[in-house]
Structure 1
Amino acid sequence: MSSDLPLNPALVEWNGHHGLPRFDEVKDADFSPGFNAALASHEAEIDAIANNPAEATFANTVVALEIAGDELSRISALFWGKAGAHTNETIQALEREIAPKLSRHYSKIGMNAALFARIDRLWETRKELGLTVEQERVLERHWKGFVRAGAKLPKIEQERLADINEKLAGLGARFGQNVLGDEKSWSLKLSDEAELDGLPGFLRDAMAAAARERGEQDGYVVTLSRSIIEPFLTFSTRRDLREQAFKAWVARGENPGETNNLGIVRETLALRAEKAKLLGYENFAAFKLDNTMAKTPEAVNTLLSQVWEKARAKALEEEASLGGLIAEEGKNHEVMPWDWRHYAEKLRQRMFDFSESELKPYLQLEKVIEACFDVAERLFGIKAVEVKGVATYHPDVRVFEVYDKDGSLKALFLGDYFARSSKRSGAWMSSFQSQHKLMLKNGRKGELPIIYNVCNFAKPAEGKPALLSLDDAKTLFHEFGHALHGMLSDVTYPSVSGTGVARDFVELPSQLYEHWLTVPEILEKYAVHYETGAPMPKALLDKVLAARTFNAGFATVEFTSSALVDMAFHADGPVGDPMAVQKQVLDGIGMPSSIVMRHATPHFQHVFSGDGYSAGYYSYMWSEVLDADAFSAFEETGNAFDPVMARKLKNNIYSVGGSIDPEETYKAFRGKLPDPQAMLKKKGLAMVEELTGSDA
């Protein structure tokens, strides 16, 4: 990664609106020299801390580490933001290069003997240092980070670990790019009315817009964006086309050629297993779970397996009902995965007398965004104001100022809502800048959080509003819950700011926030018809609320099967044939043939595009135990916006980041650890025996 270009100041000196980056002044060619300069600068800072002749103190070692690498953090935030949300061939080539280089850089820091000696000395004497709870948590995070990076290993094993980490970084980058490559390269063009049969107007509009975005002058295209493929599978009456589209969707990452991910999966699992052994763990799952609420693979599998039995039984009941509909139509085929959504929609219409297409005109993107902000204002006292004319990394991105109840600026929030071929699939929250209160080298004290959400909703035709499904609306609330975790953060140290928490706790603020979407007073206010402005009729609202647990068996089977496969991959050693292991796990649990994993192995980006959720996909369910129990606290008061509970929620969950142990923060909010029964009740699954495990 060599370049003779000078460092572009816009990469590191963010002097845009309230400190936003000047996205319009950053070019792709700037990143290579920028990374070179920032890596060298950070290395010099690390050497100065490690070789400081003064005795190690919390200030000259831990605080110094907390504020070191500011330039690298800024360039990385800009680069990885673009790599995920608006990439191109130049960015992808650099991603393949920079991912391993960054891994080498951080491995070198983690194995710096002089630096670890200072951290280790502080850790051993921590009880004598007079540290606050947050400071001790920060020290613990650094000490454990060094140990998990191999600081205690012999030199030869450190070198091997660094090599493994570098290879894993490169593999993760390639995995995600391959999935995006398959998504970009496939589309199904439809033109005549027979091919469009059953498709409602909102979907036709989205497919027409997708066709234009892909350079088609007319017609409609089915793409592999979830916001198009799922409604197509739901509404299309053409079983042959549903099958064709579905098979392309689930084949991402498994197609022959350059984008096939199976070799990457195999190598990744082998390297992860070797890494865990080097660090003294029985397997990679044990390594990953050591620093979580769950603690052990056994605790995770106990939760997953007990939920699985209930979910599978429910899904088989649902499948039988769908089979009855097929028979009524005079057809004799089994329920296949490309049939499920189609017939589930028909069953929902019969059971609850409403359809997704009837509901969608009441779920405008604009109104759901307003609802997100309104709930935040009612619960936490913050107010969002949109700002026009601010340059961002793509014209679709919107900028909001977020103010606290005293009128002070609390955060900046960016919303990037529409699917495009330059964006990876899914939805996520991230930050350009995290909240903290430390004095920086440039003289500034603390920083304003700059948080962004990325979604993949179908972009409407020109002049028409974007209409969401109920699942889309939940996704928007979910990601905004993550955003609130970042924006409401009120800690001193960057490493424990916002979402800097245990992986199986991080989904609590997001999943909990979803509950407020279906609070009746929110739907009554914001679920208004996009043409007439009339509120959703009470009869329809009641049906929507009554149908909240409809199809719960299907949804839980989709998720839980993925989590069980993830755990199986990482609880053993190297895997020769990943798809054979996937099949073995699914056969062993009795996976219904009518349902597939939500994320099959070749496109399981949570697990293989980086290791964020590796041996950790279960955490959505772990957090679901927490979030269902947490919302029950509001239900028990009879007021979804109870001010006492809202204050406890803000002070103990949303604002403390990782500055306090998650078990303690949860108990401070709720008064006790969570009850899994609330989660099972929310899902509409039968009551089960007491679930065992660490905390859930």
Structure 2
Amino acid sequence: MTPDVPTLTADNPFAAPSTLPYELPDFAAIRHEHLRPAMLAGLAEQRAEWEAIATDPAAPDVANTLEALERSGGLLRRATAVLDTYTSSRADDALRALEAELAPLRSAHRDALYLDRRIFARLEALAEQDLDGETAWLLHTYRKDFVRAGVRLGDEKQEQLRSLNSRLTVLETEFAQRVVKALDAGALHLRDAERLTGLSEDTVAGLAQAATDRGTDGYLITLQLPSQQALLAQLTDRELRRELYTASVMRGTGVDAESDTRATLLEIARLRAERARLLGYEHHAAYVAEDGTAGTTAAVNEMLGRLAAPAVANAQAEATDLAEVHGGPIEAWDWSYLAEKVRQERFSIDDSVLRPYLELERVLRDGVFHAARRLYGITLTERPELAGYADGVRVWEVAEEDGTPLGLFVGDYYAREGKHGGAWMHNLVDQSHLLGQRPVVVNNLNLTRPAPGEPTLLTWDEVITAFHEFGHALHGLFSNVRYPSLSGANVPRDFVEYPSQVNEMWARDPEVLARYARHHETGEPLPEELLTALLGSAQYGEGFATTEYLGAALLDQAWHQVGPHDLPTSAEDVEDFSARALEQAGIAHPLVPPRYRSTYFNHTFGGGYDAGYYSYIWSEVLDADTVEWFSTDAPKEEDGRPGRAAGQRFREVLLSRGHSADPLDFYRELRGRDADIRPLLVRRGLTG
């Protein structure tokens, strides 16, 4: 039953576009009670706009059909951008309840468009018209999306589909919320500081601050989303490592009733399988692959299968090496700790040595932003007068080399209660010439907030993540398209990670690294021997890293390459299904858990990567080949390094074009050919 649509009063901040620069939402004025009426009014308003398109007596044309669709939903876009930001980055019980209430309404809203045969008929009529390239591609994507959504199904099957979609949206929201609860429930509360031996003083202070932030004493080790927890590499207390590892991998398995995800994920998998069959696909993975650049599950399986055996072999060699270092059998919670010892002994480097040289502010200013300035000429100027949506959220204005305004970049770097784990990028405003809008993009990380007055010191992995997420941000900031639905990172799931992965290369670039890797107290650069060791250790641990990633990617495929009757029916069988899937894929290793186990695999059961987690390594094929292009064929500066000319080429051919055509055509334009997998195999040590 649709709730009554409340009247949206003029004093609601969503009633009109924000008057702040670039239409940045006025977070200082927005209160929780503004969101529900704005969302309901926005849903109703866009439904009315769609009805006007469907019943327009004029013959279909670009303006009254395609552009009308793209213009519709202004109020809903404004409210959704804020609601989704709040629920992912600062959720509380009230926001979670609102998110759950709106989930089925939002699902029904999408079905109202994509199952409307009248609008589809207008789109079909446009297929006979002579359209410019971007408009023709927009029409192609709309027609494809309508068909994939079920517009050609009969009435009875459409009703079944609406019911499935509604229930799935509720379940996916529930899964994501339970994963966040599991992060909170699994945190380890300690009172004995001696158990934290191995951690730096600033890290211990951060754990004390985390406890204070939660209203308790002592020290609080909060969990990160992946199976492996960063502190496992530093803690000398083996029992504490076991406790931390166990708390991580047991999330969602029923150890905490409020965050048990097993029944939820089983129903999600079954309903996705039923929906795929209803739409004419063998399974959900086939449905997803068709819409990506992979095209088929056969292509996905071939690539993942090609990598699995050498990855596990490398991981086993690493395990044997670590057991020798340990002097006996090791457990999964020992791996990171021993690997750090080996890294330190063989390369004279570890995170405790590096972290004093990796301070967040300098990493951003002299690393992430400097690399973007060298390549693309852009500058970022902080705008402290523009309010973020939570404490610590910062806003920068981005300008072109000649000073032309480009957009806003929002940085949300710290973990907080109610925030999703991991790191991600999203837009508050999409770039669009049709709507006259410039982009506002957000990067999220989950760093531990230091004690007041203390610096934020990063691990090397966190540095890479900062560069990675800014690569996504550049994809959004550089968008130069007409239609908002084709803007920026609105590309196929198995292409979206490509630009962000390419941007990671600049974290390792010697000139860039020399600028940002400086001691936070003295300003001294990272010693030459440490720099050499850091770059020289790049392949160390790739067996583990590739195996844990492939474990998750193949687990994702296992849940989605089956029919509805081939899935377990009992929550107690979830772990057995997962274990069998890993064994059958040849990726099981007792010391290397999947990067995400099924019960907290938010990417696939709550985060939009369902049957698409393979996309990271699929995109990495393009990434590794592009990194080779930068070092070989890309235009060079006088110093022999790629600079503005190379950046401009990459920006014009790839970063600026969003989804205005087939993304692989953009890639072929850059490289003059299809991607070569060999650079990836070399990078990950899989050529032997």
Q: TM-score, normalised by structure 1?
A: 0.94
Deviation at 1:277, TM superposition (A): 1.1
Deviation at 1:5, TM superposition (A): 6.4
Deviation at 1:336, TM superposition (A): 1.5
Deviation at 1:383, TM superposition (A): 0.8
Q: Is the 8 A contact 2:178 2:261 kept in 1?
A: yes
94, 103, 111: which one aligns with 2:107: 103
Distance in structure 2 (CA, Å) of the matches to 1:192 and 1:567: 43
Distance in structure 1 (CA, Å) of the matches to 2:465 and 2:324: 31
Residue equivalent to 1:69: 73
Residue equivalent to 2:370: 374
Deviation at 1:406, TM superposition (A): 2.2
Residue equivalent to 1:317: 317
566, 576, 583: which one aligns with 1:580: 576
SS in 1 for 2:381: strand
Deviation per residue, 1:634-666 (Å, 9 max, x gap): 111574424433222101111000012112100
323, 336, 339: which one aligns with 1:344: 339
Deviation at 1:13, TM superposition (A): 2.4
Q: Is the 8 A contact 1:552 1:685 kept in 2?
A: no
* Letter of the structure 2 residue corresponding to residue 201 of structure 1: E
498, 517, 538: which one aligns with 1:508: 498
RMSD: 1.6
Where structure 1 has 5 or more consecutive residues not aligned to the other structure, the ranges are 441-445, 688-696
Residue equivalent to 1:86: 90
* Letter of the structure 2 residue corresponding to residue 155 of structure 1: D
Residue equivalent to 2:676: 675
Deviation at 1:18, TM superposition (A): 3.9
Q: Is the 8 A contact 1:386 1:401 kept in 2?
A: yes
27, 42, 46: which one aligns with 1:42: 46
Deviation at 1:487, TM superposition (A): 0.2
Residue equivalent to 2:593: 596
1:421 is aligned to 2:417: yes
Residue equivalent to 1:466: 456
Q: 1:226 to 1:117 in 2, by over 3 A?
A: closer
Deviation at 1:193, TM superposition (A): 4.3
Q: 1:540 to 1:395 in 2, by over 3 A?
A: same
Q: Is the 8 A contact 1:2 1:33 kept in 2?
A: no
Distance in structure 2 (CA, Å) of the matches to 1:14 and 1:505: 32
Deviation at 1:206, TM superposition (A): 1.8
1:569 is aligned to 2:559: yes
Deviation at 1:4, TM superposition (A): 5.0
SS in 1 for 2:388: coil
SS in 2 for 1:549: coil
Q: 1:549 to 1:526 in 2, by over 3 A?
A: same
Distance in structure 2 (CA, Å) of the matches to 1:2 and 1:393: 28
Residue equivalent to 2:12: 9
Q: Is the 8 A contact 1:634 1:642 kept in 2?
A: no
- 1:229-240 equivalences under 5 Å are 230-240=229-239
1:485 is aligned to 2:475: yes
Deviation per residue, 1:60-110 (Å, 9 max, x gap): 101110111111111111100100001111100011111111001111111
Distance in structure 2 (CA, Å) of the matches to 1:535 and 1:595: 35
Where structure 2 has 5 or more consecutive residues not aligned to the other structure, the ranges are none
* Letter of the structure 2 residue corresponding to residue 375 of structure 1: A
- 1:196-207 equivalences under 5 Å are 196-207=196-207
* Letter of the structure 2 residue corresponding to residue 429 of structure 1: M
Residue equivalent to 1:693: none
Residue equivalent to 1:21: 25
Deviation at 1:684, TM superposition (A): 2.6
Q: 1:227 to 1:137 in 2, by over 3 A?
A: closer
* Letter of the structure 2 residue corresponding to residue 241 of structure 1: L
SS in 2 for 1:372: helix
Q: Is the 8 A contact 1:2 1:32 kept in 2?
A: no
Deviation at 1:578, TM superposition (A): 3.3
Distance in structure 2 (CA, Å) of the matches to 1:569 and 1:188: 31
- 1:411-450 equivalences under 5 Å are 411-438=407-434, 440=435, 446-450=436-440
Deviation at 1:221, TM superposition (A): 1.7
Q: Is the 8 A contact 1:633 1:645 kept in 2?
A: no
* Letter of the structure 2 residue corresponding to residue 222 of structure 1: I
Deviation at 1:299, TM superposition (A): 0.6
Residue equivalent to 2:536: 546
Distance in structure 1 (CA, Å) of the matches to 2:375 and 2:552: 34
Q: 1:361 to 1:228 in 2, by over 3 A?
A: farther
SS in 2 for 1:24: coil
Q: Is the 8 A contact 1:206 1:228 kept in 2?
A: no
Residue equivalent to 1:691: none
Distance in structure 1 (CA, Å) of the matches to 2:8 and 2:109: 21
Deviation at 1:590, TM superposition (A): 4.8
Distance in structure 2 (CA, Å) of the matches to 1:480 and 1:391: 20
Deviation per residue, 1:5-62 (Å, 9 max, x gap): 6445312421124421111111111111111211111111000001100111122101
Distance in structure 1 (CA, Å) of the matches to 2:36 and 2:587: 50
- 1:599-638 equivalences under 5 Å are 599-610=596-607, 612-637=608-633
Distance in structure 1 (CA, Å) of the matches to 2:388 and 2:408: 12
* Letter of the structure 1 residue corresponding to residue 504 of structure 2: E
* Letter of the structure 2 residue corresponding to residue 417 of structure 1: Y
SS in 2 for 1:481: helix
Distance in structure 2 (CA, Å) of the matches to 1:590 and 1:491: 42
Q: Is the 8 A contact 1:228 1:458 kept in 2?
A: no
Q: Is the 8 A contact 2:225 2:421 kept in 1?
A: yes
579-588 or 50-59, which moves further after superposition?
Answer: 579-588
15-24 or 174-183, which moves further after superposition?
Answer: 15-24
Deviation at 1:214, TM superposition (A): 1.2
SS in 1 for 2:67: helix
Q: 1:313 to 1:558 in 2, by over 3 A?
A: same
Distance in structure 2 (CA, Å) of the matches to 1:57 and 1:107: 23
Q: Is the 8 A contact 1:285 1:571 kept in 2?
A: yes
Distance in structure 2 (CA, Å) of the matches to 1:131 and 1:152: 25
Deviation at 1:199, TM superposition (A): 1.7
Distance in structure 1 (CA, Å) of the matches to 2:92 and 2:4: 19
Q: Is the 8 A contact 2:423 2:465 kept in 1?
A: yes
Distance in structure 2 (CA, Å) of the matches to 1:590 and 1:146: 37
Residue equivalent to 2:648: 647
Q: Is the 8 A contact 1:134 1:659 kept in 2?
A: yes
Deviation at 1:122, TM superposition (A): 1.6
Distance in structure 1 (CA, Å) of the matches to 2:181 and 2:193: 30
465, 476, 488: which one aligns with 2:466: 476
Residue equivalent to 1:661: 662
* Letter of the structure 2 residue corresponding to residue 622 of structure 1: W
Aligned residues with identical type, % of pairs:
38
118, 126, 130: which one aligns with 1:114: 118
Distance in structure 1 (CA, Å) of the matches to 2:447 and 2:232: 16
Deviation per residue, 1:241-298 (Å, 9 max, x gap): 1111111111222224232111111111111111111111111111111111111111
* Letter of the structure 1 residue corresponding to residue 236 of structure 2: T
Residue equivalent to 1:241: 240
Q: Is the 8 A contact 1:226 1:456 kept in 2?
A: no
SS in 1 for 2:456: coil
79-88 or 34-43, which moves further after superposition?
Answer: 34-43
SS in 2 for 1:536: coil
Deviation at 1:386, TM superposition (A): 0.5
Distance in structure 2 (CA, Å) of the matches to 1:258 and 1:568: 26
Q: TM-score, normalised by structure 2?
A: 0.95
Distance in structure 1 (CA, Å) of the matches to 2:226 and 2:530: 23
Residue equivalent to 1:225: 224
* Letter of the structure 2 residue corresponding to residue 646 of structure 1: G
Distance in structure 2 (CA, Å) of the matches to 1:58 and 1:542: 57
Residue equivalent to 1:521: 511
Q: Is the 8 A contact 1:361 1:529 kept in 2?
A: yes
* Letter of the structure 2 residue corresponding to residue 409 of structure 1: P
Distance in structure 1 (CA, Å) of the matches to 2:168 and 2:55: 30
Residue equivalent to 2:145: 145
Residue equivalent to 1:282: 282
Distance in structure 1 (CA, Å) of the matches to 2:12 and 2:536: 55
Distance in structure 1 (CA, Å) of the matches to 2:227 and 2:56: 57
